Structure 1
Amino acid sequence: MTRIAAEWTRRDDLNAMLAAIDPDADQCRFVGGAVRDALLGIEAADIDIATRLLPDEVMARLEAAGIRAVPTGLAHGTVTAVLPGGPVEITTLRRDVTTDGRHAEVAFTDDWREDAARRDFTINALFADPVTLEVTDYFGGLADLDARLVRFIGDAGERILEDHLRILRYFRFHARFGGAADPLALAACTGHADRLKALSRERIARELLLLLGSADPLAAVGLMADCGIWPVILPEMQDDGARRLAALLDREAAVAAAPNPLLRLAALLPEDALIADTVAARLRLSKAQRLAMTRFAAPWPVTGSARQVAAQVQPEELVAPWLLLRAPRAMLVDGWHSLKGWQVPEFPLSGRDILALGIHAGPDVARALGEIRRRWVAEDFPDDARIRQIASEVVQAAA
């Protein structure tokens, strides 16, 4: 019998909560990603519990135990228990009644296998007993996990018709866990690629950024091209998009940079700020994300050190990833490390200082300040003595 072993299973708050809502230890099981990741020795991002208890009963038992309960998705059976060690989602066992590719109407059930059967991939349909930690596997998920095979439960085409987003989820999970691709899954994704058009742009954006945030998404990106996915969700991506992404991954490795999904999305696109902004707007990205996309699409300045560029570009936190994507390879490593943990120094002069040097109030003050700051940046932010010398030179030249 396979058992999970993970630090989170020993959380006092989690076990106390389980004892409160399931004193006989026969109504709840850990499920999904937490179980899968525990088997792989990966720290779980979220802990999910499946239960035979109905949502109202879960709420009542949590509240009776003094545990805050948030009805995060009662229509779909989900209650969130707010615990000191982090929130835990508790969801009543379900079966699909109707689906239209975007939404599902569900009914509650007490059948563990029926609930597992409605999940997307075999590796996500594993349950674990909270007491014994023994794993229950209805659809061969353990073998698929060992083989690094991402496989749909049942007929792949039918599962995609239930929820079109499963196409992108397939490639995301393949990027994270997959070895050889499942030909049945690829055929189904290819045959139903156009159905992604029916999804909201927000859902596509979220899934796409999660995929691009995996350690190495390059193989999945190539498979998506083979299956005709990119023309549907990112028609601006050209044939050399994968090559540009590969180059970025190589540069990330050279400086040990953490994955930046937004930067990787920009790498898939041509070096064109208008295209980048168009894509960001269509995907309903935030204002900050749109700004980042347009910055990443711009060419790197032809002169100046990385720190000098950072002093002239706002917000400055975008400069390091921009450098990673666009700067000449020769300045990559030194430039990246020069920006790490560094902030642009505060410019030490103000208009009052310029007035004190004899320039009359008005536009000449701003012009003098601009020229002094330009020289201050060009000299790599010298000390106060030098900056005041520069100020004197600028004022004298303007006299």
Structure 2
Amino acid sequence: MSPKTLEAEWIARADLAALVAALGPGTVRWVGGAVRDTLLGKPVHDIDAATTLEPAEVVTRLGAAKIRSVPTGIEHGTVTAILEGGPVEITTLRHDVSTDGRRATVKFANDWQDDAARRDFTINALYADPSSGEVFDWFGGLEDLETGRVRFIGDARERIREDHLRILRYYRFQARFGAALDAASERACIELAPTMKGLSRERVGWELQNLLAIADPVATVQRMYDGGVLGVVLPEASDAGMEALAAVVAKEREAGLPPSPLRRLAALLPADEKVAAQVASRLRLSTANKKRLVAAARRSGTPSDPHVLAYRLGREAAIDRLLLAGQDPAALSGWEIPVLPLKGGEIVARGVAAGPEVARILQAVEERWIGEGFPPRERVEALLDAELGARKPV
């Protein structure tokens, strides 16, 4: 990769050129993931910019150029420009006034290097000039990209004390970009791991799922487990859970399935519905994800027929259970989950009074329909006839 120049198609986007023109020459640079991923030859999904302008001035200049903006984090200096090619977050240069490990009090600044110094890792502190593509690197981020090293800027312990979530971010970035370990960063994460107990559960859950969503996080999660870091945020993890995680990641790869962070989280947990529910609540998972995690915890009772499992639980939950049980989910590929071709109203029309008896008959027909492999409507009608014929006279 070029050591000092950013070259990519996205840089030449007309809407980005209009944005730069609106803010003014020399006032804005691309920063963070877009710069890092471009230099690595990876796809760029989100574009962030840093600017010497204060938020109010950013809004004013964008408005004058007919570019819509949203004050998504204006108290921290961030304004989002809504562009045709996708939103761009524009953040005013800052330096920290104080931090408490969870949030920082910042002051707007106008020095690019000061802004870079408050970032987490060297590979995230790379800035690029929109016009020339020149890359600005004050902390060795380019060299770290080349060697595959994730390294905190300056003193690792100081960076972690500023924001304790950086411990989980370190491991996520290590799993994604790291080829060589930075011993000082790893030692600091292990030493300060207990500080994560004060973090919000939402932030921990979000970061943990991002880590588990990486193609193959097994080696990294194993180091977290061995170093006692994982136990701080997920004390339910065990040796058996680590083995299950490795097995699920391998099974996903064999089946050609994309990584599922929720499935991998389930693998780390014991097959205990109560534990799964507690973890889901602690990590503030959505109701749907909580149900899926609990369903995955029932894996000891996985049915032999994948179609039945998918019908009862849904496709994703069924694949979770199959993979966690070491079974092949190939039978579900391209299979459309059927709908029982029978409604309660049809049973009422056959002379059964509306109420619990209708529900009982419907359930009985459904169970036989499932047991016969989801036959077509004609067979369902025959099953209904049989069920009605077996009723005792009232």
Task: Name the TM-score, length of structure 2 as normaliser.
Answer: 0.94
Match of 1:240 in 2: 240
Please give the alpha-carbon distance, in whole angstroms, between the structure 2 residues aligned to 1:126 and 1:60: 27
The runs of 5 or more residues in structure 2 that have no matched partner are none
Please give the alpha-carbon distance, in whole angstroms, between the structure 2 residues aligned to 1:299 and 1:158: 43
What amino acid maps onto 1:325 in structure 2? L
In the TM superposition, what is the alpha-carbon distance from 1:358 to its structure 2 partner? Answer: 5.3
Q: What is the percentage of aligned positions where both structures have the same residue?
A: 51
Aligned length: 390
Label 1:109 to 1:302 Cα distance change in 2 as closer, same or farther (>3 A).
closer
In the TM superposition, what is the alpha-carbon distance from 1:362 to its structure 2 partner? Answer: 4.7
Please give the alpha-carbon distance, in whole angstroms, between the structure 2 residues aligned to 1:390 and 1:289: 36
Please give the alpha-carbon distance, in whole angstroms, between the structure 1 residues aligned to 2:106 and 2:355: 69
Please give the alpha-carbon distance, in whole angstroms, between the structure 2 residues aligned to 1:241 and 1:361: 49
In the alignment, structure 1 residue 172 sits paired with structure 2 residue 172: yes
Deviations, residues 122-152 of structure 1 (Å, cap 9, x unaligned): 0000011111112111111111001000001
Match of 2:380 in 1: 387
Label 1:369 to 1:91 Cα distance change in 2 as closer, same or farther (>3 A).
same
Cα RMSD after superposing both structures: 1.7
Q: How does 1:125-164 map to 2 (within 5 A)?
A: 125-164=125-164
Please give the alpha-carbon distance, in whole angstroms, between the structure 1 residues aligned to 2:260 and 2:101: 30
In the TM superposition, what is the alpha-carbon distance from 1:201 to its structure 2 partner? Answer: 0.9
Please give the alpha-carbon distance, in whole angstroms, between the structure 2 residues aligned to 1:27 and 1:398: 81
2:315/2:332 contact within 8 Å kept: no
Task: Name the TM-score, length of structure 1 as normaliser.
Answer: 0.93
What amino acid maps onto 2:272 in structure 1? D
Label 1:392 to 1:28 Cα distance change in 2 as closer, same or farther (>3 A).
same
Deviations, residues 152-185 of structure 1 (Å, cap 9, x unaligned): 1101111111111111110010010001211101
Match of 1:310 in 2: 310
Label 1:26 to 1:186 Cα distance change in 2 as closer, same or farther (>3 A).
same
In the TM superposition, what is the alpha-carbon distance from 1:6 to its structure 2 partner? Answer: 2.4
Match of 2:23 in 1: 21
SS in 2 for 1:50: strand
Match of 1:50 in 2: 50
1:29/1:129 contact within 8 Å kept: yes
Please give the alpha-carbon distance, in whole angstroms, between the structure 2 residues aligned to 1:112 and 1:151: 20
What amino acid maps onto 1:41 in structure 2? G
What amino acid maps onto 1:6 in structure 2? A
SS in 2 for 1:97: strand
In the TM superposition, what is the alpha-carbon distance from 1:30 to its structure 2 partner? Answer: 0.4
What amino acid maps onto 2:211 in structure 1? L
Deviations, residues 204-259 of structure 1 (Å, cap 9, x unaligned): 11111111111111111011123211221111112222111000001101111111
Match of 1:12 in 2: 14
Match of 1:321 in 2: 320
What amino acid maps onto 1:9 in structure 2? I
Label 1:348 to 1:111 Cα distance change in 2 as closer, same or farther (>3 A).
same
Deviations, residues 48-99 of structure 1 (Å, cap 9, x unaligned): 1011111111111001011111112222211110111111011111111111
SS in 2 for 1:393: helix
Match of 2:200 in 1: 200
What amino acid maps onto 2:382 in structure 1? Q
Label 1:309 to 1:273 Cα distance change in 2 as closer, same or farther (>3 A).
same
Of 308, 325, 331 in structure 2, the residue corresponding to residue 338 of structure 1 is: 331
Please give the alpha-carbon distance, in whole angstroms, between the structure 2 residues aligned to 1:200 and 1:148: 30
In the TM superposition, what is the alpha-carbon distance from 1:316 to its structure 2 partner? Answer: 5.0
In the TM superposition, what is the alpha-carbon distance from 1:112 to its structure 2 partner? Answer: 1.1
What amino acid maps onto 2:269 in structure 1? L
SS in 2 for 1:348: coil
Match of 1:215 in 2: 215
In the TM superposition, what is the alpha-carbon distance from 1:2 to its structure 2 partner? Answer: 2.3
2:271/2:300 contact within 8 Å kept: no
In the TM superposition, what is the alpha-carbon distance from 1:386 to its structure 2 partner? Answer: 1.7
The runs of 5 or more residues in structure 1 that have no matched partner are none
Please give the alpha-carbon distance, in whole angstroms, between the structure 2 residues aligned to 1:254 and 1:300: 22
Please give the alpha-carbon distance, in whole angstroms, between the structure 1 residues aligned to 2:346 and 2:246: 50
2:202/2:284 contact within 8 Å kept: yes
Which sits farther off after the overlay, 361-370 or 115-124?
361-370
SS in 1 for 2:299: coil
Match of 1:280 in 2: 280
Q: How does 1:114-125 map to 2 (within 5 A)?
A: 114-125=114-125
SS in 2 for 1:235: coil
